[in-house]
Structure 1
Amino acid sequence: MIAEARMDALMNQGWQAADSTELDGWLVRRNAGVTLRANSVLPASAPFDLDKALEYVENLYVAHDIRPSFQISPAVQPSDLDAHLEARGYEVRNPTLVQCAPISDVLAKLPAPTTPTPDVNISTTPSTLWTDCWWSVDGRGDDTRAAAEEILVRGNALYATVANDRRAQAIGRLALVDDTAGLYCLAVDKDFRRRGLASAVIHGLLHAATDRGAKWVWLSVLEDNAPARALYDRLGFRTVSRYHYRVKA
């Protein structure tokens, strides 16, 4: 399996912020406030002076009109950073599990395709149909869409779409990093659920990833998302790390 610190680095590469600042072992990410991952500190190494580092981060984020936030995983440095942030009034947000599985195992466990088998289109860029479907399911407001779409196309990734002539029914994104692949943005239009489309999207993406040399697939799932966790458990995913965010109140 993949070590916790490497998992943090893979997820950072799979969902890249527009700007970042290196701060004595911390990566201070900024993306116009769109998504917590892209607007939080990844604390990979302990800074020499913790108090000064915290003050710098808070001032930098406030200057960019971003609420100061940190991604806290078992690999966080310093190891007691979570307690320091709690003492400074930071609140816990989005407890999340990081899960991983060999791609071959997931493909073997995926349900047999429905009849008729959905036609899954795989591309290296997201189409308008893809982004419209994603935003209709997971959108956070029209004024943030452009910044969110820019995150999608940073780095190497595959995009799966099940669609008719005018509308995407299901979509997914697979970030390709080294010999691993990260599953993001899995979404099914509310009018087309319970038809096996999510499994078809995963199947199409993972087959395409193996052709590109990927051996492992990873994903993040909110700890309280019982339906998604049940699906991933059936597909052979196992928890290898976890994280939550600390956001300044």
Structure 2
Amino acid sequence: MIEAAQMDSLMNQGWPAAHSTELDGWLVRHNAGVTLRANSVLPKSAPFDLGKALDYVENLYVAHGITPSFQISPAVQPSDLDAQLEARGYVMRNPTLVQCAAVSDVLANLHTTPAEVNISTTPSAAWTDCWWSIDGRGADTRAAAEQILARGKALYASVPDGPRVKAIGRLALVDDTAGLYCLAVDERFRRQGLASAIIHGLLQAATSRWVWLSVLEDNTAARTLYDRLGFQTVSRYHYRVKE
């Protein structure tokens, strides 16, 4: 299985921010405030002067109109950074599990309903419209969100509904692994097996050996599906966000 530090790197490549600055072992990411992952620090190794590093990050994010945030995983450096941030007034957000499975195992465990699944290397307008209608954060940030999608190699799946789509998914392709993102089903078509159909279509089209994903700890419905498909928790993370 994949170790925590490697998992952090894969997720960063699968969802790349517009701007990433190396700061003495930390990767400082910002992307117009769109998604916490693309607007948080990935603390890969410990900086020489923690206090100065924290001051730099906070000033940089404030200058860009972004709330200072850190992604905290078991590989975080320094190892006590979570406690240091809490003492500095940062609060915990979005406890998340990182799960991984062999592609062959997931395909063997999938029981899909008949559904037409279209696969493309770029997101169509209908794909993006569906994603934004479910996960949108404001019209003024849509362009920044679309730029994230365009930065990494990926496959895009959709179940058509005339000129629109019922369900979507994105499979980021990183080395010999793949990351499942943006799995979403229009609320009018849920509980029809479309999420499974999307996953099946994406994994069949990929040549990756391993697939990984992140799921909020409290998302019981999604975790039930992923458990049934054979995913196992290999890491976890949460964010520390300055109040």
Say whether the fold is shared (TM-score over 0.5). Answer: yes
SS of corresponding position for 1:153:
helix
| TM-score, normalising length: structure 1 | 0.96
Quote how far apart the aligned CAs of 1:191 are: 1.2
Of 188, 206, 209 in structure 2, the residue corresponding to residue 191 of structure 1 is 188
Partner Cα distance (1:223, 1:194) in 2? 21
SS of corresponding position for 1:185:
strand
Of 108, 116, 120 in structure 2, the residue corresponding to residue 119 of structure 1 is 116
Task: Name the residue aligned to 1:239.
Answer: 233
Partner Cα distance (1:126, 1:8) in 2? 25
In the alignment, is residue 102 of structure 1 matched against residue 102 of structure 2?
A: yes
Equivalences for 1:20-31 in 2 at 5 Å? 20-31=20-31
Of 211, 218, 221 in structure 2, the residue corresponding to residue 217 of structure 1 is 211
In the alignment, is residue 166 of structure 1 matched against residue 163 of structure 2?
A: yes
Task: Name the residue aligned to 1:142.
Answer: 139
Quote how far apart the aligned CAs of 1:138 are: 1.3
In the alignment, is residue 52 of structure 1 matched against residue 32 of structure 2?
A: no
- The AA in structure 2 aligned to 1:94 is N
Task: Name the residue aligned to 1:74.
Answer: 74
Of 127, 132, 137 in structure 2, the residue corresponding to residue 130 of structure 1 is 127
Per-residue CA deviation, residues 158-199 of structure 1 (Å, 9 max, x unaligned), is: 000110321101100000000100000001111111111111
Per-residue CA deviation, residues 37-58 of structure 1 (Å, 9 max, x unaligned), is: 0000000000011111111111
What is the aligned residue count?
243
Partner Cα distance (2:241, 2:33) in 1? 12
Partner Cα distance (2:161, 2:38) in 1? 32
Partner Cα distance (2:125, 2:175) in 1? 28
Task: Name the residue aligned to 2:6.
Answer: 6
Partner Cα distance (1:22, 1:147) in 2? 21
Task: Name the residue aligned to 1:175.
Answer: 172
What percent identity do the matched residue pairs reach?
Answer: 80
Partner Cα distance (1:186, 1:164) in 2? 17
Gaps of 5+ in 2: none
- The AA in structure 2 aligned to 1:237 is F
Quote how far apart the aligned CAs of 1:137 are: 1.3
| TM-score, normalising length: structure 2 | 0.99
Root-mean-square deviation over aligned CA pairs: 0.7
Of 203, 207, 232 in structure 1, the residue corresponding to residue 204 of structure 2 is 207
Partner Cα distance (2:84, 2:161) in 1? 52
Quote how far apart the aligned CAs of 1:153 are: 1.2
Partner Cα distance (1:84, 1:194) in 2? 43
SS of corresponding position for 2:197:
helix
Task: Give structure 1 regions of 4+ aligned residues with deviation exceeding 3 angstroms.
Answer: none
